[in-house]
Structure 1
Amino acid sequence: MRTLSMSLAILLCTFATNVFAQSFTGPQKTQGYADFGDKITFIFDEALYGIKPQEKVTVTGEFRGWDADMDNQEWQLKKTGEAWMLTIDNADFGKIKPNTEFKFRVDDGAWIDPADGIDNVRNGNLVFMIERITKSLRAELRSDRLIWAEIQGDRVLVPSEYKIFDSKGKEIKVAGVLPNESRSTLIVPAEELDKRRVYYLEIPALGLRAECSYDGWFRELYSTKELGANIDNDTTAIRIFSPRADLVKLYLYKGRYDENAYETIEMAQDKDGVWETIIPENLHGIYYDFTVHGAVEKGNNFYESIPVHISDPYTRVSDNTFGKGRIWERTTPASPLKNGIPAMEDVISYEVHVQDFTDQLPVSDDIKGRFPAMIKSGLKNDRGEKIGFDYLVDLGINTVHLMPVQEYLHFPDEDWKASFKDDPYMIEQGISEENYQWGYRTSHAFAVESKYRTKGKEPGEERDEFRDLVQAFHDKDIAVIIDIVPNHTHEDMASKTFYHHFNVLDKQYYYRTKDYEHIGAYGNEVKTEDRPMTQRWLIEQCQYYINEFGIDGFRIDLAGQIDEQTLKALKDALGHDKIIYGEAWIASNDPNYENNPDWDWYKEDAPITFFQDDSRGAYKGPVFELKDKAKHRGWAGGKFDERDNVMLGLAAKFKDDKTPNSGITYLDIHDNFALADQFGSKDFDGRYGVDQDEYKIATTLMYTTLGPIVTHGGSEIMRSKAHAPLMEVEKETKEGYKVYMHGFRDSYNHRIANQFVWSQVGQKPQEGNTNDYANMHAYWKGMNEFRLSEYGEVFRVADAVSDDYYQFFTPESTTMLGYLVDEKVFVLLNAGQEAGTFENITLPEGKWKLIANTKEIDHKKGIRDSKDKMKLKTGQAINIDVEPTSVYIWVKQ
């Protein structure tokens, strides 16, 4: 029991729930909850947030794993007066623990940010009992003669009150205890410890026991030696980092499938935990692996516990993840862009997956789905339209954003085929013969994805093919960035544990753990804080792709799980001309990380450009569910109460936008539903019909927003993913690999659903398909050209603008919005189904050219509307009539 008796708690909760919202105090409503001993009442106050939910309010947070299900009645609030409330049992903090983050969601799934001035806020979330201090103990091994402890509670300073135990239960007496700060305490054992081993510290009087983490010496353990296998002057140096190993053996092989090594070498360890050997030969093409030996203890996966050979996490060549690495000479990078990397505010990025883009190209089977197909010029479809590389160059973007190209996990082909060759669902989705993946489970960060090399070529030749891809785009003055996935690795995914490198070298060093086991929503979390060599691994893989391939920047997956200081160091190490953006959301599962403001970050203190989901939600709606067109397609699709947020997005004036470069604007991306399906005319299926005028309004909003933008490859031709049915499917291979299929809400492992359908380029509406692919393609191409023109300079600004930089015109009907940008570009939008009028608009004097309407865009020649209805008069107040679901853009000449 906590502070109140059970009967009193129930009485108070019943009273609060059944009277009205005013029975709660102002602070309770402000903080979002009231705590009544063994119960907690969540409170969503409409007046505080200025929002009147129509259907439902739910609460989610760490206690639900941030579950986004709006229909789970257990977490739905009930309306009482002007507040919505939910009371739950929370005896002994069984469900909601102190310092737990939570957030409210309303109606269609909109995430509600905390109101201004609230004290219990962290990471953009509300926090339950943010000031609560509970008894706790953290202990760190600093050396063989020293443990540091952080104690919350009534600390004692008598050695006999402390006990140290090793992993076998043997007690080591404590010789001395001295305080440092109010909570930090020095513990001196009576005998020497082995800092590589497992120890526990206990304070029996406080009922506290903690594992002695290795953080104390790990955070100071660092080497500048070049890791991996590197050839210089006909000498091969091989180094690998494993600080707690007793022995590392290197094995050299002539062939990929050789069972016996032609040479075995016991490596030497230096004082910084690096094992190395120098061989006076050029070993280019030789295969290699290791065994790592050490104590059999909880949390260790050394050879004595798990008798496996491991590969080098720094290997330049990994042939399909499993097995040996291959020693390879450095690659000569592509030459740089002749006009330099685009400034962040100039970026129009195009996210694309190599296999999706090339699967249906008319190329030979040996390169289909692979690097060479992506840069093959001269390809056309049956209509004679450019497709593939020429299509992408012609589209007018200035940055190609490649989804993962670092070696990533595919489940073994033979097992996969044997398991699914006759499975109707897998056959229909195009995945009965291979484990297709987007690639968000990196296995070897320094190796280029081996499945992308030409069939029949030797492992390692994919490196030159990737470099050639970068060069081909550079020759067309298009930057290339790659999507890196450093937040988790493949070693613990899909209910399967692999012992390929980090799990063996030292799981406790490379990963965030609890009780020596992995934590993380995606199987594991790589630990960059307190781990200089993991920081190095992240920074060096980025430097490596620049130095050996010539790429121009990075999109960082789940960047919010990489600590703020590491990301700052990354930007400094790479140079601030590089393009870097990533996801701020998805918090770490490690409370020590989350509670450290120097590590944890969110949009308000983002060290890199973040995906601006606030503008995305306002422009085109939520990403987790599609049920109601009027609510789930943003302002452009009918949720007209989003107009104020649309204006904030356009001018980069959301509370977290310090400058237009703080966030990168987008509509859709590989995750979640495709834009064509969100605007699908029937049942959110864009394959046969898209509400194209609304689609173009959303597109126009994105292209007339300040700062960088990123587009989802194929959105310009209304690429649908609805071939993957919206249903949850679970499969398992014969060898026990679990496979989870989510349909077109998350099509990461559906091959056919993700393919570019090149026959649609140039296609006009036809029987059974009302989509005008040709027109939409031309519209996006025109938008790219407009944005990168001299007129588009008004949007490509790096610094925060004044409040009158965008002059907004807001008729009484929230279906309409107009804006004059820097007195040079004038936009009128009507997202409603009825014609409307913008009244009393006065434009700066000069000649204004209409360059776009809902049908076309041409910033060079301009466009003519019938009877010159849209010809503007300047210097006087005018009324402008607009058609339903329409777009108009003028520029001042």
Structure 2
Amino acid sequence: MKSLKKILFILLTFCSFQIHAQSFTGEQVNQGYAIFGNQVSFIFDELIYDKQPSRVVVTGAFRGWDDDLDTQEWDLKKTGQQWILTLDNSDYKVIGPTMEFKFRINDGEWLGPSPVSKNEKGGNLVFMMDAVLPGLKAELKNENLIWATIIGDRPLDPSKYLITNAQGDTIKVKGVLPNEATTTLIVPAEPLNKKRVYYLHMPDQELTAFCSFDGWFRETYSTKELGANIDNGKTTVRLFAPRATGVKLYLYNGKDDKKAEEVVEMKVDNDGVWEAFFDEDLHGTWYDFTIHGYDDPGNLFYETTKAHVSDPYTRVSDDTWGKCRMWRRTTPATPLKGGIPAMEDVISYEVHVQDFTDRLPVDASIKGRLAAMHKTGLKNSKGQKIGFDYLVDLGVNVIHLMPIQEYLHYPTDDWKASFENDEYMKSQGVSEENYQWGYRTTHAMAVETRYRTVGKEAGEERNEFRDLVQAFHDKDIAVIIDIVPNHTAENMDGNNWIFNFNGIDKQYYYRTKDLEHIGDYGNEVKTENRPMTQRWLIDQCQYYIKEFGIDGFRIDLAGQVDEQTLIVLKETIGLDKIVYGEPWIGSNDPEFEGNPSWDWYKEDSPITFFQDDSRTAFKGPVFKLTDPKTDRGWAGGKSSDRAAVMKGLENSNKEDKTPTSGITYLDIHDNFALSDQYGGEKFDGRTSVDQDNYKIAVTLMYTSLGPIVTNGGSEIMRSKADAPLKEVFKTTNKGYKVYMHGYRDTYNHRTANQYAWETVGQEPQSGNTNDYKNMLAFWRGMNELRLSEIGKVFRLGTEVPEGYYQFITPKNENQLGYIVDNKVFVLLNVDEKSNKFDNIELPEGNWKLVANNNAVNIQKGVKDADKKLSKLKGGKQNIEMPATSLKIWVKQ
């Protein structure tokens, strides 16, 4: 009998729950855990992390990356310089091999691995990183072949194997042949039905594996255009459902019709595409499908659910629930005259259609909707421009729209009946109908129904979205949209529905374990080993380019989309398109995480990623706010973050290969608003933002290299504090679950997210010290500076030359200066007292002051209280900086 290629068992003769610091080896301390028999001890050592926390908590994949700090079962206990938590891990019931984990300290700060930790992957620690345990994996290749991977003893005697189906019937194995050291061909004694569920057993070793469909799914592909498409007066309907035994297409005259006008038995081709052809233009026809298949475990076909499903490729879905509508192709907006901004030139402005338009002085029929987003001539009561004209004047070059693809809203009738008299829901503006940001896509090719003008027919939202894109293009502003391909709405918030993918074939479109969904958000869309799901993601991007003329995409939780799909996506849509996304939160599928061709993080990112290291250094953490002195980054006075700020400015974090590897930001729709983070002792930005610190954080972002993205409304200190910071759980009358998180995550709080347009032009007044007028002017000035000729020093797309940033670092870490490419000179002081910068060697030439705490003016310059600082000549400088101040000079 051959020995195992590699089996990790740690057998120690002593085992006790009372494990003391001196029991651990250096390797155990460095890796963050130790194994003693059936016990695991998590170890946090203050020396290797250079931290002295008041609390240490462990979380990771084994907890679903739960960030709950209210329970104490995951708290480590302090023993000298080490913190320890010891648990029973028999049969790996707590944490299994290759699972990732992380430590959190104090009030929730996340810590990356120590530099001495060799078990690091993607910014996380890995438990038993190199472990390979006995196991069996099986794939159903075709009717006459199972492809098995066997770790451990591999008998070649067919009698040592057995196949069963979902009903418990047995099928013998008649042939076993080795391929590689672990891969093995298993030949059944009788043909299998590759659309059904089977299990492969090795009884002597008590090993059983589900025969996954990967063996033939990964090789099943079609280039045919899917969905309902109308060309030259004829209509073609196609749906990909490889394990279906039949598909019926139902055609209706009206959305609410109970009975179909026609039922068509669709025909299937050799690649699993079901088709129906009509010699007529079916524009406006309503339709849905029934997908027929076996009533096996993990299947949600019609035979199991009696559910009709909608078309994942439909152009029109009227509020998600029920039928779809056939629609002709949309004529796109004309392209930007000057072309799409290069990534290094991007100043992106993230905005939610409903938030932006809810309080605009427009007709009720378009409030919260697409048509209001580009309506011109709007002003508030002070005569200040608001809405579209406001955005144009702001000076950004990219509008980043939060999801506009059809997304889930709970049915209004049920919602209103459940909450119309609920005081909390009334206070949050959500008692009458469900409000959402949109990160729960139901139909990727359809434009969101509730963004259509009231009274217009379903489908007209497509032209309205195209018109919005055209309006921005006419002002030389690019438009990108936020797509959500990592999960769908079918399993959100602990609810389970059948809209499309679940009923078409859950096992094809989603990552599953034991035939059931996995994922932190209810499900995970499976792009690896699924060419047609991979194509669905690429198709939706091409589709929005071809039919609407958009210029790029922000990809939600892109870290859950495999690397190869993102590579081909960029190539297919064109390298001129803007693409960036979130690298964090990987898959809950160990196979995905363990495959370096699929799994990726910032260091090997195939797209521009959100650079959270710079964000945290500039303005602090995002998950919990408790102490203004430590939770607002360097700009808020945390002097120890100065070195990290310098890396953020020049994009020299360890994962930054070029200035466009990451996109810099301060706040985004998630988590706390920037105004609340700088909202004094109570972190409430509604009336008293610490505006000097706020402006220093903005200055850091705008004087950093590479692209930047801003959270819409931050320029007028938009606060979310109208949503109380508490967790609220509700259920609708129909039993749908609703979670409200308060202003740390306002994804379903309407009032807290709305633009307060009356603050535009508002100066400090009694009870409110916020100077909204000045902050907006400051932000506009920063946009003008960055997009000016001199601002090119920050818009660098290639590798950074040595000495490009010349840093000035006095002993006091509250002070920082830098000269960029010998053309821009910045001084910052975050101390609560004035400080002097001595012996600065300024390059020769004349230098004009263009920014300070009061103003930014690239054309005329700004006046300073110290008049001699308005203009400088090159040479040695000694400059006194007031408390919490900023100054920027440019070389003339």
TM-score class normalised by the smaller sequence: over 0.9
Post-superposition shift, 1:661?
Answer: 0.6
CA distance in structure 1 between the aligned counterparts of 2:541 and 2:512, rounded to whole angstroms = 25
Post-superposition shift, 1:66?
Answer: 1.7
CA contact (8 A) 1:842 1:874 kept: no
Post-superposition shift, 1:118?
Answer: 3.7
CA contact (8 A) 1:146 1:187 kept: yes
1:741 corresponds to 2:740: yes
The 10-residue stretch of structure 1 (497-506 or 716-725) with the greater mean CA deviation from structure 2: 497-506
CA distance in structure 2 between the aligned counterparts of 1:309 and 1:56, rounded to whole angstroms = 51
**Structure 2 counterpart of 1:664:** 663
Secondary structure of 1:216 counterpart: helix
**Structure 2 counterpart of 1:885:** 884
1:16 corresponds to 2:49: no
CA distance in structure 2 between the aligned counterparts of 1:837 and 1:207, rounded to whole angstroms = 74
Secondary structure of 1:336 counterpart: coil
The 10-residue stretch of structure 1 (655-664 or 489-498) with the greater mean CA deviation from structure 2: 489-498
CA contact (8 A) 2:10 2:35 kept: no
Post-superposition shift, 1:94?
Answer: 2.4
CA contact (8 A) 2:228 2:326 kept: yes
**Structure 1 counterpart of 2:527:** 528
Post-superposition shift, 1:81?
Answer: 4.3
- Letter paired with 1:373: A
CA distance in structure 2 between the aligned counterparts of 1:71 and 1:878, rounded to whole angstroms = 52
CA contact (8 A) 2:621 2:633 kept: yes
Secondary structure of 2:229 counterpart: strand
CA contact (8 A) 1:253 1:263 kept: yes
1:519-598 pair list within 5 angstroms: 519-598=518-597
CA contact (8 A) 2:846 2:874 kept: no
CA distance in structure 1 between the aligned counterparts of 2:690 and 2:247, rounded to whole angstroms = 61
**Structure 2 counterpart of 1:762:** 761
CA contact (8 A) 1:53 1:106 kept: no
Post-superposition shift, 1:595?
Answer: 0.6
Identity of paired residues, percent?
Answer: 65
**Structure 2 counterpart of 1:718:** 717
Deviation readout 1:803-845 (Å, 9 max, x if unpaired): 4111111111111111111111111111110100111100101
CA contact (8 A) 2:109 2:623 kept: no
Secondary structure of 2:706 counterpart: coil
1:633-652 pair list within 5 angstroms: 633-652=632-651
CA contact (8 A) 2:628 2:681 kept: no
CA distance in structure 1 between the aligned counterparts of 2:565 and 2:862, rounded to whole angstroms = 50
CA distance in structure 2 between the aligned counterparts of 1:94 and 1:590, rounded to whole angstroms = 17
The 10-residue stretch of structure 1 (383-392 or 64-73) with the greater mean CA deviation from structure 2: 64-73
CA distance in structure 1 between the aligned counterparts of 2:310 and 2:387, rounded to whole angstroms = 36
**Structure 1 counterpart of 2:269:** 270
**Structure 1 counterpart of 2:102:** 103
1:770-785 pair list within 5 angstroms: 770-785=769-784
**Structure 2 counterpart of 1:34:** 34
**Structure 2 counterpart of 1:377:** 376
CA distance change for structure 1 residues 874 and 26 in 2, over 3 Å: closer, same or farther?
farther
**Structure 2 counterpart of 1:146:** 145
CA contact (8 A) 1:682 1:689 kept: no
CA distance in structure 2 between the aligned counterparts of 1:76 and 1:867, rounded to whole angstroms = 53
**Structure 2 counterpart of 1:500:** 499
**Structure 2 counterpart of 1:437:** 436
- Letter paired with 2:664: T
CA distance in structure 1 between the aligned counterparts of 2:764 and 2:773, rounded to whole angstroms = 9
Gaps of 5+ in 2: 1-7
CA distance change for structure 1 residues 233 and 221 in 2, over 3 Å: closer, same or farther?
same
Post-superposition shift, 1:70?
Answer: 4.6
Deviation readout 1:48-73 (Å, 9 max, x if unpaired): 33x22242333221122222345643
**Structure 2 counterpart of 1:700:** 699
Post-superposition shift, 1:119?
Answer: 2.6
CA distance in structure 1 between the aligned counterparts of 2:41 and 2:511, rounded to whole angstroms = 33
CA distance in structure 2 between the aligned counterparts of 1:255 and 1:483, rounded to whole angstroms = 31
Post-superposition shift, 1:164?
Answer: 0.3
Post-superposition shift, 1:688?
Answer: 1.1
1:295 corresponds to 2:294: yes
**Structure 2 counterpart of 1:414:** 413
**Structure 1 counterpart of 2:340:** 341
**Structure 1 counterpart of 2:154:** 155
CA contact (8 A) 1:852 1:863 kept: yes
**Structure 1 counterpart of 2:625:** 626
- Letter paired with 2:20: A
**Structure 2 counterpart of 1:390:** 389
CA contact (8 A) 1:108 1:632 kept: no
Post-superposition shift, 1:109?
Answer: 3.1
CA distance in structure 1 between the aligned counterparts of 2:330 and 2:120, rounded to whole angstroms = 48
**Structure 1 counterpart of 2:814:** 815
Post-superposition shift, 1:85?
Answer: 3.2
CA distance in structure 1 between the aligned counterparts of 2:410 and 2:69, rounded to whole angstroms = 33
CA contact (8 A) 2:627 2:681 kept: no
**How much is the aligned-residue C-alpha RMSD, in angstroms?**
1.5
Post-superposition shift, 1:501?
Answer: 1.0
CA distance in structure 2 between the aligned counterparts of 1:315 and 1:602, rounded to whole angstroms = 33
CA distance change for structure 1 residues 70 and 828 in 2, over 3 Å: closer, same or farther?
farther
CA distance change for structure 1 residues 769 and 592 in 2, over 3 Å: closer, same or farther?
same
CA distance in structure 2 between the aligned counterparts of 1:860 and 1:122, rounded to whole angstroms = 48
Post-superposition shift, 1:3?
Answer: 4.6
1:37-48 pair list within 5 angstroms: 37-48=37-48
CA contact (8 A) 2:847 2:874 kept: no
CA distance in structure 2 between the aligned counterparts of 1:818 and 1:70, rounded to whole angstroms = 38
Post-superposition shift, 1:515?
Answer: 1.0
Deviation readout 1:183-202 (Å, 9 max, x if unpaired): 11100001111100110100
- Letter paired with 2:119: N
CA distance in structure 2 between the aligned counterparts of 1:27 and 1:426, rounded to whole angstroms = 52
CA distance in structure 1 between the aligned counterparts of 2:514 and 2:95, rounded to whole angstroms = 21
Post-superposition shift, 1:83?
Answer: 3.6
CA distance in structure 1 between the aligned counterparts of 2:702 and 2:167, rounded to whole angstroms = 64
CA distance in structure 1 between the aligned counterparts of 2:535 and 2:448, rounded to whole angstroms = 22
Post-superposition shift, 1:703?
Answer: 0.5
**Structure 2 counterpart of 1:868:** 867
Secondary structure of 1:847 counterpart: strand
CA distance change for structure 1 residues 70 and 420 in 2, over 3 Å: closer, same or farther?
closer
Secondary structure of 1:491 counterpart: helix
1:194 corresponds to 2:198: no
The TM-score with structure 1 as length reference comes to 0.97
Post-superposition shift, 1:108?
Answer: 4.6
Matched residues, number? 885
CA distance change for structure 1 residues 71 and 501 in 2, over 3 Å: closer, same or farther?
closer
The 10-residue stretch of structure 1 (70-79 or 23-32) with the greater mean CA deviation from structure 2: 70-79
Post-superposition shift, 1:151?
Answer: 1.1
CA distance in structure 2 between the aligned counterparts of 1:149 and 1:572, rounded to whole angstroms = 34
Deviation readout 1:145-193 (Å, 9 max, x if unpaired): 0000111111111100000011111111101001111111100001111
CA distance in structure 2 between the aligned counterparts of 1:519 and 1:417, rounded to whole angstroms = 31
CA distance in structure 1 between the aligned counterparts of 2:755 and 2:766, rounded to whole angstroms = 21
Secondary structure of 1:75 counterpart: coil
The 10-residue stretch of structure 1 (25-34 or 585-594) with the greater mean CA deviation from structure 2: 25-34
The 10-residue stretch of structure 1 (304-313 or 109-118) with the greater mean CA deviation from structure 2: 109-118
CA contact (8 A) 1:2 1:91 kept: no
Secondary structure of 1:264 counterpart: strand
CA distance in structure 2 between the aligned counterparts of 1:887 and 1:692, rounded to whole angstroms = 12
CA distance in structure 2 between the aligned counterparts of 1:92 and 1:300, rounded to whole angstroms = 29
- Letter paired with 2:341: P
Deviation readout 1:264-323 (Å, 9 max, x if unpaired): 110000010000011000111111111111111111111111112111110000000011
CA distance in structure 1 between the aligned counterparts of 2:446 and 2:875, rounded to whole angstroms = 64
CA distance in structure 2 between the aligned counterparts of 1:4 and 1:175, rounded to whole angstroms = 39
CA contact (8 A) 1:79 1:85 kept: yes
CA distance in structure 2 between the aligned counterparts of 1:778 and 1:110, rounded to whole angstroms = 34
Gaps of 5+ in 1: none
The 10-residue stretch of structure 1 (253-262 or 394-403) with the greater mean CA deviation from structure 2: 253-262
